[in-house]
């Protein structure tokens, strides 16, 4: 059921179709596969609701068999998995086929939480055409960095964003992008079994940091933050500084007002002082 509100997304189009669109309205990502029985129940429901939403949100359908890197990016452990993206970042998710009333309630709560941040929601709800981003002149420095990011060349992308920050230390876009690149590079390189190693060897700081990355990539945000806070509370010196720095870097992946970040920042202050 392809339409302007329902799009098929690939690894090549993910940046434009998901990340950039999510600056105006939420993009709800449906991770599915042809062989998945529950997907055949959930996907048509999401398509129908997207059409009814009239542009207040966009449904991005992603075949995980054809686009495995995206599934890895979201840490999808089963399908169907549904992830809401806003402002370029994951904000909510659920897994498995859900009944229609529950899905409607989830979408309604999502729109309520994001209406003040994303201008396209109210525009669509009021019957106006969805707000389109103002055309901007492309900055070749960002173009280079984004191209490297999209092809998975994280060292080149990191160097490009760092070069921008060296020249303009206050550039928030470059700061956020650099944090995302560094996190994805670590998360993709981490072995998921590191969580077991971290749980059985609490003194292994490298394992604790890697386990926190894996948990965050798997949408277990609160567990990731709690792990690092635990390290901060029970260590001192260099180990404590490493865990604190790592936690603050993870905060940068989210909007400052994200409830999990707000709580973790408060807990961090308590742990430090």
**Among all residues, which ones are annotated catalytic?**
36, 39
Q: Under a CB-based contact definition with an 8 Å cutoff, are residues 64 and 70 in contact?
A: yes
Structure tokens belonging to residue 122: 């109210």
User: Exposure of 55 by Cβ count < 10 A (0-12 exposed, 13-18 middle, 19+ buried)?
Assistant: buried
- Backbone phi and psi for residue 57, each to the nearest 5 degrees, phi listed first: -150, 160
| Beta-carbon-side half-sphere exposure of residue 112 (alpha carbons within 13 Å) | 6
Segment (H or E) for 29: strand 27-32
β-strands 27-32, 58-63 pairing: parallel
Q: Under a CB-based contact definition with an 8 Å cutoff, are residues 59 and 3 in contact?
A: no
Q: CA 251, CA 174: separation in Å to the nearest integer? A: 15
Structure tokens belonging to residue 4: 């302007």
């Amino acid at each position: 059921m392809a339409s302007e509100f329902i799009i098929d997304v690939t690894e090549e189009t993910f940046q434009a179709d998901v990340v950039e669109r999510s600056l105006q309205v939420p993009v709800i990502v449906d991770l599915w596969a042809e062989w998945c029985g529950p997907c055949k129940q959930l996907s048509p429901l999401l398509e129908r609701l997207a059409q009814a939403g009239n542009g207040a949100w966009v449904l991005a359908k992603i075949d995980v068999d054809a686009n495995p890197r995206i599934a890895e990016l979201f840490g999808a452990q089963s399908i169907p998995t549904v992830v809401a993206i806003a402002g370029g970042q994951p904000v909510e998710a659920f897994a498995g086929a859900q009944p229609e009333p529950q899905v409607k309630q989830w979408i309604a709560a999502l729109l309520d939480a994001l209406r003040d941040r994303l201008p396209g929601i109210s525009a669509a709800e009021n019957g106006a055409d969805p707000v389109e981003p103002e055309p901007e002149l492309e900055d070749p420095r960002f173009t280079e960095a984004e191209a490297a990011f999209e092809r998975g060349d994280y060292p080149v992308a990191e160097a490009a964003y760092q070069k921008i920050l060296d020249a303009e230390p206050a550039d928030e876009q470059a700061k956020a992008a650099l944090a995302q690149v560094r996190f994805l590079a670590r998360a993709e390189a981490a072995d998921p079994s590191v969580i077991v190693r971290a749980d059985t060897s609490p003194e292994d700081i490298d394992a604790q940091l890697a386990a926190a990355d894996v948990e965050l990539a798997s949408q277990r945000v609160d567990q990731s933050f709690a792990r690092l806070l635990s390290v901060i509370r029970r260590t001192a010196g260099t180990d404590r500084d490493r865990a604190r720095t790592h936690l603050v870097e993870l905060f940068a992946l989210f909007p400052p007002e994200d409830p999990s970040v707000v709580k973790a920042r408060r807990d961090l202050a308590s742990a430090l002082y």
